[in-house]
Structure 1
Amino acid sequence: MADAAEVTHATDAEVFAALPAVLIDRDNVEHYRGLLARRLLINRCAACGYWVYPHRPLCPKCWSWDVVPTQVSGDGFVFLCTLVHQERDPDAAPGEPVSTAAVELVEQPGLRYLAPVVNCPPDRVRLDMPVRLTWVDRDGVAWPAFQPSGPIEGGR
């Protein structure tokens, strides 16, 4: 894993310009800067190692203010899944639902990231299905998504 200084190069102005519809603040700007570099960065406490997501300026476990954006592996398991029926995904067929999952990342129990599940039919997404990070392009910006990392039949 690498810290944010090793993987991000966009200025604050570039982050704001690339993501005008996103509410960006001092606690999450490094996360979005990482997305522009196709890196999934989540704050991690430098004092105790606890992953802090959603992004906050201090660790809820040890109360340290020393949280650092750190790249995660992108490996995890589907913890929760829902089908979104709004036609917002330009890659989905009209009327086809889009799978969106809370993926529990392997870095820490309870560390979950919400993103679409791609390269898998919506009715085949299962709880506990192993997934890995991938990227989908929307309006010239890379967004995190997950795809199966093992047999699609896996999970429950």
Structure 2
Amino acid sequence: MSEITDQQVADRLPDMWLDRDNVEFYRGLLQRRLLINRCADCGRWQQPPFPICPSCWSDDVRPTEVSGEGTIHSFTILRAGPPLPGVDYASGHPVVVVELAEQQGVRVTATTADVAHEELRVGMPVTLTWVDRGGEPVPAFRPAASA
């Protein structure tokens, strides 16, 4: 996969607040890779991105691809919100917080795919997939059994 420059990240995601701590996270999204910072010294994962490890205070934190496996920690169905390509608030837009398998307490927020709203459950095993929104890849989670 060809390298995406910082300028290309900014051009493709003009509404995102980009800085040196999170640009790799967003570059990963554009490459369909979910990158979470991990301390190279103690191994702790941390999300959202931050330049210092909260456990050992090392500044050797590196964006690292995760497995994409996890469980739903919480969820909601949005019935209103800002206009977004591919988001239908009239039928409800699911938003889940997924605790990743890499480490207890490391969570990401995303939408869902391949699951009816009434089937969503806290504790449901899920796996990462990608949906297209406005021509850009967006992480989503679907039930692990349908992966």
**TM-score range normalised by the length of the shorter chain:** over 0.9
- Structure 2 distance, partners of 1:90, 1:24, is 21
- Identity among equivalent positions (%) equals 47
Find out whether 1:68 has 2:62 as its counterpart. Answer: yes
- Structure 1 distance, partners of 2:87, 2:120, is 16
> Which structure 1 residue ranges, 5 or more long, are not aligned?
1-6, 152-156
Aligned length, in residue pairs: 145
Give the aligned residue type for 2:59.
W
Match of 1:113 among 105, 108, 112: 108
Asked if structure 2 preserves the Cα contact closer than 8 Å seen for 1:8 and 1:34, the reply is: no
Deviation string 1:21-49 (CA, Å, 9 cap, x unpaired) is 01111100000011111000010000000
Partner of 1:134: 129
> Which structure 2 residue ranges, 5 or more long, are not aligned?
none
User: Measured at CA, do residues 78 and 8 of structure 1 come closer, stay the same or move farther in structure 2, by a change above 3 Å?
Assistant: farther
- Structure 2 distance, partners of 1:8, 1:30, is 14
Asked if structure 2 preserves the Cα contact closer than 8 Å seen for 1:133 and 1:147, the reply is: yes
Give the aligned residue type for 1:29.
V
Relative to the length of structure 1, the TM-score reads 0.87
Relative to the length of structure 2, the TM-score reads 0.92
